[in-house]
Amino acid sequence: MSSHIFQFCDVTLHARPCGALYLPAQETLCVSDLHLGKSQRIARRTGVLVPPYETEETLTKLTREITSTNPRVVICLGDSFDDLAAAGALSEQNINLLTELQKGREWIWIEGNHDPTPTHIPGIYCDSYHTDGLTFRHIAQANTSAEISGHYHPKFGLAGTGPQRPCFAYDHNRLIMPAFGAYTGGLSLRSDVLKAQFQTPLIAVLTGKKSIACPV
């Protein structure tokens, strides 16, 4: 697996091809926007039935990342559950897997706009988390620095290379994570909403078989 390794606010980060962020010195793995239970929420709210396999796919991918990096701390950067009812509807098997993944680790659930209050799933719940000068929160805030957030599900692509891919996006003091969930959409990094979050130079790191960094 070929990660993009870079310095961000004096901390070494690995942008992994799957969309997870690893901080080796801190032994910390960060993922954003899992949206567990999304198919269940869509069926409940709209009556539209979609294949109910995205939770298992997302948890399988998360298990691979934890096995590969063996982190001491795991940060889930908000919208881990598609809504609170979806969290409550997770199967016993999925809850047991999450509990097993947490063993021997500090597990931080950052609260997002989809999951604004704690659920029954074990772990530490907070609205933001601070370590080594970095602030982790769900939605980027104005006039902050050394901030890592999610929420926007950024995606980007180069001309002639096919569809846009989920991507990391960062400048000198802000990083926005891609969505890690299997059943999530995305917002183009070229959109006015996302461009307004950054200063120049802005770097996109495309996910996929390998992490590809490119200027925007």
Tokens for 49, please give them: 């039935």
pLDDT at 52: 63
Tokens for 119, please give them: 């659920």
- Type of residue at 203: I
Helices 54-69, 38-46: crossing angle, 10 deg rounding: 160
Q: What is the pLDDT along the chain (216 residues), one digit of tens a residue?
A: 699 999 999 999 999 999 999 999 999 999 999 999 765 655 555 555 555 678 889 999 999 999 999 999 999 999 999 888 878 888 899 999 999 999 999 999 999 998 989 899 999 999 999 999 999 999 999 989 999 999 999 999 877 666 899 999 999 999 999 999 987 889 999 999 999 999 999 999 999 999 999 999
pLDDT at 176: 98
Domain that holds residue 23: 4-215
Segment (H or E) for 167? strand 165-170
> Measuring CA to CA, which residue among 98, 123, 93 is closest to residue 111?
123
pLDDT at 1: 60
10 Å CB burial of residue 74 (0-12, 13-18, 19+) is buried
> Domain holding 165: CATH number?
3.60.21
Give the number of domains in the chain: 1
Rounded CA-CA distance 213/5 in Å is 10
